[in-house]
Amino acid sequence: MKVLFVSPEVSPIVRTGGLGDVVGSLPIALQAMGIDVRILCPLHRQCKEMDVRFFRKKLGLELGAQTIPLRIGQTTLGKFDIPVYVVENDALFDRPGIYADEEGDYTDNSTRACVLSKSAVLLEKVTGWTPEVFHAHDWMAAPTAAYLNQLSFGKKVRKIGKSVLTIHNLEHQGVFSQLDFVLSGLPPEYSGIDGFEHQGSMNLLKGGIQHADKITTVSPTYASEVRTKAFGQGLEESLKYRGADLVGILNGIDQDSWNPQRDPALPSPIDPLDPSDGKKACKRSLLEEMKLPPGSRAPLFGVVSRLYRQKGLDLLLRILPSLMSNSKANFVILGSGDGKEEQAFRELARAYPSRIGVFIGFDDGLARRIFAGTDFFLMPSRFEPCGLAQQYAMRYGSLPIGRRTGGLADTIIHYSRSTKRANGFLFENANPSSFAKVVNRAIRLFQNPRKFASIQGNALQSPCSWESAAKQYADVYRWAMEIPSKEK
């Protein structure tokens, strides 16, 4: 089976978040199953220093009335020898950011998305390699399915391949003026309500949903949620319409990269079977790094997050003063985003300098030390398609506390007296009262070292590899290709 991933980002080559992590990890697990998987992404400015071999043949990609010159290059994904094809056009992709710069989103993002997507369909003309499945990721690659369908539109010929669209976060849809559709070069018949049109605009993700053979989201619960008005971001009717072709597959994490026994960012390794000494050393070091009293025996809560409404950290801001008065718990926060939230966390750190440590920005090493050094990890998200941070936290022995939504509901087993498999805490409603209640319950658990150690042991042993997800994706590919789910 030959599968092409189409994505605007792939870790560790170029990434902004979880999308890049998935596209950089899932192919490795698929390759281990014997699937010939390759990746296509733009040659962003961040990729310019890579060792890239360019194919001699060039492409003149026709979009509407314009012809866009492209070169296709090839590099590899780390040590795994997975081919990564890159689309070079400096005018479109040699820019400071993947999607935006300091002035905001690029105004020609619709063209950039169409160039990436159509390049996928034409890739075989340059490389000689023909995918059987085109696996597009999020809005910037979503038109791939439409360009694939265009090849057989109005003709009595079979498509050259099947398409799968993975929705990582429905909040990001690629919405542009309907006038931009003409620039896509797609048939006018694709522009209507059963194609790319949504509420008077061109919506790239909606077009992908309408045209893809199969659709996946990044957790089973999110696959159900997106078909409701509360979580569907306006596309719930399209997703309900395609419900028979929609499944949720939980993301895994790269267990080699996220290994607490061999992570060079940690001051001490953590043995999953005997974590006590390693966790204590990491906690003491983290308290020192965040300028909090290193000898504190109080529970330590951590946050590694973007600071904006989806993530629900405004709930933490509202309950922290009460927790400072009514508990001995300490908090370390790493994040950036909304300026008001950043300032509010800074002010709380100044008000409680021995209890709250804040780092505004992002630092991968510090993030890892927070996972390793904290007792509990906070994710009060209003919605969370999958979430990787709670899986990192469990892998490093920090009990996740999350809202019962999306991938948090699929990975966190809520602590109760009757549940022996619990690995964290869940709360139902996105309000300060519900959040404070579960945080206080975690504080009480910490006061029972034996029980806490048992739940921590469960967290450390929680399954989080890509192996299970890869098998499910392979089944989706076979489903799209209309062949049995298990080849004989």
* Model pLDDT for residues 220-253, shown as the tens digit of each residue: 999 999 999 999 999 999 999 999 999 999 999 9
pLDDT digits (tens, 9 = 90+) for 138-160: 999 999 999 999 988 766 556 67
Which pLDDT band, with edges at 50, 70 and 90, does 417 fall under?
Answer: confident
pLDDT digits (tens, 9 = 90+) for 424-463: 999 999 999 999 999 999 999 999 999 999 999 999 999 8
What is the CATH topology of the domain spanning 2-252+467-481?
Rossmann fold (3.40.50)
Mean of the pLDDT values across residues 262-288?
A: 98
**Summary mean pLDDT of the chain:** 95
The DSSP call for residue 10 is B
Mean of the pLDDT values across residues 279-293?
A: 97
Q: What residue type is 424 in one-letter code?
A: G
pLDDT digits (tens, 9 = 90+) for 66-85: 999 999 999 999 888 899 99
Mean of the pLDDT values across residues 417-422?
A: 83
Per-residue DSSP letters for 24-52? HHHHHHHHHTT-EEEEEEE--GGGTTS--
pLDDT of 373 above 90: yes
List, in sequence order, the alpha helices (H) in 402-483. 406-411, 432-446, 449-460, 467-481
**pLDDT attached to residue 346:** 98
**CATH of span 276-460:** 3.40.50.2000
Mean of the pLDDT values across residues 168-189?
A: 95
Distance CA 363, CA 224 (A): 34
3-state secondary structure of 201: strand
The full set of domain ranges for the chain reads 2-252+467-481, 276-460
Comparing C-alpha atoms, which of 314, 288, 258, 310 is closest to residue 24? 258
List, in sequence order, the alpha helices (H) in 185-312. 204-211, 220-225, 236-241, 276-289
pTM equals 0.92
pLDDT digits (tens, 9 = 90+) for 393-415: 999 999 999 999 999 999 999 99
CB–CB of 402/387 below 8 Å?
Answer: yes
Which pLDDT band, with edges at 50, 70 and 90, does 487 fall under?
Answer: very low
CB–CB of 46/160 below 8 Å?
Answer: no
**Count of CB atoms within 10 A of residue 408's CB?**
27
Same topology between domain 2-252+467-481 and domain 276-460: yes
